A = this chain, B = another copy of it.
């Protein structure tokens, strides 16, 4: 599941119940797409209501949905705070099966058409990610050729004129940074993308990209996609905020439940129908049954007690905590409320966040024992 989307109640409300028409549509398209490529999309939809101009645009809230919107990095692009990837992950782990992910597999455009019949390209933020472990030699690595051909192919499959952000998945130490940044600048200047970002790059690699962009007057990246959950905090809570303050590179986080580990379902081993029991997730299984994995399960047990006290589930607590950290580190705000619509009831800790007092947060940090410190604490 690769599509990462952020959307408002408009889109999601319709997702309840019988999707008979939908599943009838085009199974082979779905399979083709599934077999061929993986796409990531973040979609921010308009509110449908007019916001007076004199309101500060720093962060704004959807009238009907309570959805928050912020600028992507220091760029001018405004995206919703929660991505569909996150929503869908939470949904999946919480037992929700509302999303017809088959549609998702068949590409973002299908999804858009389904959810948003009055589709207007200018109101969506659609991203794609360039994977570079392709079959052909030339499709491996972030060469100029692969960046250009890869993005072209992606646009063709999605039937889009451009994406808003094209992400370079994993750094490629075999391609000079100058070539990568030149190629990214090229696709932006050709109108194939509005911005470019990185995915799973280290802070040092992002700094190098930025510095090369400055050296040759090219366009620097705006955003890093990073894994972020209770057990992996250093990069998102310390390093990326520093990057944001220094060079304006923002963060998008993924895997809030650590591939399901944080649901607590692996407390007593690997259940038969779980992801970790699948052949292709052997690495996940090994991770879980390792010593570190067992320690994590113990911590989750403790966290579960807190969740019970707050009247929510463990996943809800986990997502709530990471959301809160994101807000605090990146924007120095401390309230994040999702509206009371269908999805949030099931997935989002809208009623949890207000209860997350500094005391509760300290308690969680204490249990996890991995709160990272930075010289300059952006969270205070």
Contacts and interface: CB of A to CB of B under 8 A. Distances in A.
B138 A53 contact: no
B179 A44 contact: no
A57 B140 contact: yes
Contacts of A136: 45-47, 120, 122-123
A346 interface: no
A219 B182 contact: yes
Which range contains the number of A residues in contact with the other chain?
35 or more
Interface stretch (A142-150, A238-246, A271-279): A142-150
Interface in A185-203: 186, 189-191, 194-195
A306 interface: no
Nearest to A59: B174
A170 interface: yes
Contacts of A145: 76-77, 122, 125, 164, 194
Contact of A143 (B78, B80, B142): B78
Given A176-B74, A176-B75, A122 B135 contact: no
A69 B180 CA distance: 20
A354 interface: no
A74 to B, nearest CB: 5
Interface string A78-109: 11100000000000000000000000000000
Nearest to A78: B137
A138 B57 contact: no
A138 B46 contact: yes
A153 interface: yes
B69 A137 contact: yes
Nearest to A176: B74
Contacts of A26: none
B50 A133 contact: yes
Given A49-B135, A122-B153, A57 B217 contact: no
A148 B78 contact: no
Contacts of A76: 141-146, 172, 174-176, 179-180
The listed residue with most B CB atoms (<10 A of its CB), out of A50, A75, A172, A180, is A75
The listed residue with most B CB atoms (<10 A of its CB), out of A60, A80, A141, is A141
The listed residue with most B CB atoms (<10 A of its CB), out of A52, A71, A194, is A194
B77 A135 contact: no
Contacts of A174: 57-58, 71, 76
Given A49-B135, A217-B217, 8 more contacts: A45-B136, A46-B134, A57-B141, A57-B172, A77-B138, A121-B149, A122-B136, A145-B164
10 contacts: A44-B137, A46-B134, A48-B135, A57-B141, A60-B137, A74-B176, A76-B146, A122-B150, A144-B194, A176-B248
What are the nearest 9 A-B pairs in CB distance? A76-B143, A76-B175, A46-B136, A123-B136, A122-B149, A53-B133, A78-B137, A57-B174, A69-B137
